[in-house]
């Protein structure tokens, strides 16, 4: 196990449901960004000619629209990664640095550098 300082944030129930972990209350912001980016890559939502543009599907659109629930906006056909970053910041509340423990996957200790 490795200990580091991570920017932990309280996530909204909509974001927790999108990430597939409805019971989770806190998560590192980097992990939230990584998982949303992996979802976009897996479902091929990026524009081929301009990869900064994203064409959201229904699941991602529900997350986007829940961020603007007090002030509804028209349905955007395309968003950018900058807009996505702003939406993540709306769904991450009370960000603060905390100790975070994680494992390095596929790490095999060897004789020269034992863990």
- Identify the structural domains of the chain with CATH numbers, from first to last: 2-102 (1.10.245.10)
pLDDT at residue 81, as a whole number? 84
pLDDT at residue 101, as a whole number? 56
Residue 113 has pLDDT above 50, yes or no: no
Is residue 76 within 8 A of residue 54, CB to CB? The reply is no
Residue 19 has pLDDT above 60, yes or no: yes
Residue 7 has pLDDT above 90, yes or no: no
pLDDT at residue 77, as a whole number? 78
SS (H, E, C) 63-105: HHHHHCCCCCCCCCCCEEHHHHHHHHHHHEEEEEEEEEEECCC
- Segment 98-113 shows an average pLDDT of 53
- Segment 39-54 shows an average pLDDT of 90
């Amino acid at each position: 196990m490795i200990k580091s300082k991570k920017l932990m944030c309280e996530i909204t129930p909509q974001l927790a449901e999108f990430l597939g972990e409805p019971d989770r209350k806190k998560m590192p912001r980097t992990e939230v960004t990584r998982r949303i980016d992996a979802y976009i890559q897996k479902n091929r939502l990026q524009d081929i000619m301009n990869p900064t543009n994203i064409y959201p599907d229904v699941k991602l659109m529900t997350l986007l629209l829940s961020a603007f629930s007090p002030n509804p906006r028209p349905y955007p056909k395309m968003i950018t990664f900058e807009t996505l970053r702003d939406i993540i910041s709306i769904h991450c509340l009370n960000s603060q640095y905390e100790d975070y423990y994680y494992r390095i996957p596929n790490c095999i200790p060897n004789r020269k550098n034992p863990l």
